[in-house]
Amino acid sequence: MKEENEASLAFAKLQESPVSFWIDSSGGPKDLCKNSFYGLNPKYYIYGSLNKINFVNCYRDIPLECLYRMSCFDFLEEKIKEEKNNPNGIFAGYFAYDLSDFFFAYFDNCYSCESRSLDRVTCKEQGLDSCFHGNDKTNLHLTSNMSDSEYLKKVKQIKEEIKAGNVYQVNLTREYSVELKNINDLKLYLKLRSVSPNPYGCYFKTPFVSILSSSPEEFLYIDSQTKYIRTRPIKGTLSKNVFEIDPKNQAENIMIVDLERNDLGRICEYGSVKAKKLLEIESYKHLNHVVSTVEGKLKPDIKLKEIFEAMFPSGSITGAPKISAMKLIEKIEPTKRKAYTGSFGYIKTDGTMNFNILIRTIFVSEGRIVFNIGGGIVADSSPEGELEEINLKAKGIMNALCLSS
């Protein structure tokens, strides 16, 4: 009961703090469900674009904001060095898909929360009607950044590029949004985690947007002691009772593994990059994923900027070859992805870090809920089949979050 009371108090504090985070390993393989901790009331936070940084000092009666023109990676590294004597300190934040913007906050301390207590309190707190107090659900309208006919046209366009040999696979995403009043973003996250618990989930509240993620995918992990870096691309989704990998999923996964090995090779010692685990089937609440693990040992004195520029964004959410796929995505997707398929995570003051990929994620800002549905388009993809699948997924999210009439 004491742990449950502490969890209830944590939820209240997360809502009160102007900037807060909750890293939440709520489901999936047991060996991945080790992180559940949160941070409140940061000492300072930074946000902006790659070479333009807004620094906000929160430890003042009136927060002081300053502007710096330098690399956000260099700035972060400076701050990590400044805080190195605090073993409990942690930087939490996200980078957008194309590294066009970021938001990181520094917390002097963070607090663990026992996952079973969180699960019990989640059931009590999620009171779903109170997520959207004052809204008439019969009048909610789901809008998208492209029509069905436009989506079909874009799938066909990708297939033509594949046929021409310019790309092998491209991840095409479609954005959906709903206008709402009085959104309780934390309770909405509690609903999301109860429907879709995953090992790399997070709730991240900023003055500009709240990020609610139920991500199953790890982008990178770095062990500050061994200097090993790991990435765990997911490529392939199977029904819950299926444990055989079809040739299509196998080929897609191996293609992305090769891409990740190439990216790691740019920042790791020669000969250290290996596919440690290949084509493993991992079980989650509603389905199974095909996951591979690629790791390597970082070169001496490697910089944060070099790591992210080599690895970002993940090949699993772009396609292959990565640069060609990204150029095509830029051309055909009508809306910038922003934080979607970017990465949220933390950096400890000793240099240990862990980041997810922001998929299965909802963004809440100014009375608007935004989410994206994506899928990998390959040579034998059916445009009509892809359209049907993403529309079903979008309706599934609406139903799961009690947004349907």
Low-confidence ranges of the chain (pLDDT < 50): 1-5, 123, 126, 128-129
For residue 390, give the amino acid letter. I
Q: pTM (2 decimals)?
A: 0.92
Has residue 54 been placed in a domain? yes
Residue 175's pLDDT is what?
A: 96
Residue ranges of E strands in 145-190? 169-179
Contacts of 331 (CB under 8 A, 6+ apart): none
CA-angle at 186, arms to 182 and 190, nearest 5°:
120
Torsions phi, psi for 374 (to 5 deg):
-130, 165
The contacts found for 327-331 with CB under 8 angstroms, 24 or more apart, are 328/158, 328/161, 328/166, 328/167, 328/170, 329/170, 329/171, 329/172
Residue 138's pLDDT is what?
A: 53
Q: Number of folded domains in the chain? A: 1
Active-site residues: which are they? 217, 235
Q: Which residue has the tokens 């765990």?
A: 232
Contact by Cβ (8 Å): 104, 43 = no
Residue 106's pLDDT is what?
A: 98
Has residue 147 been placed in a domain? no
Has residue 211 been placed in a domain? no
pLDDT digits (tens, 9 = 90+) for 151-186: 999 999 999 999 999 999 999 999 999 998 888 899
Has residue 350 been placed in a domain? no
* C-alpha dihedral (324, 71, 357, 395), degrees to nearest 10: -80
Contact by Cβ (8 Å): 58, 44 = yes
Residue 2's pLDDT is what?
A: 46
Closest CA to 315 of 386, 354, 273, 262: 262
pLDDT digits (tens, 9 = 90+) for 108-158: 988 887 655 555 555 455 454 455 555 555 567 889 999 999 999 999 999
Has residue 218 been placed in a domain? no
Contact by Cβ (8 Å): 47, 97 = no
Domain span at residue 12? 2-135
Has residue 276 been placed in a domain? no
Has residue 310 been placed in a domain? no
Torsions phi, psi for 367 (to 5 deg):
70, 25
Has residue 122 been placed in a domain? yes
Residue 4's pLDDT is what?
A: 44
Identify the DSSP state of 183.
B
Residue 32's pLDDT is what?
A: 76
Other CB atoms within 10 Å distance of the CB of residue 395: 14
Cα Dmax for the chain: 63
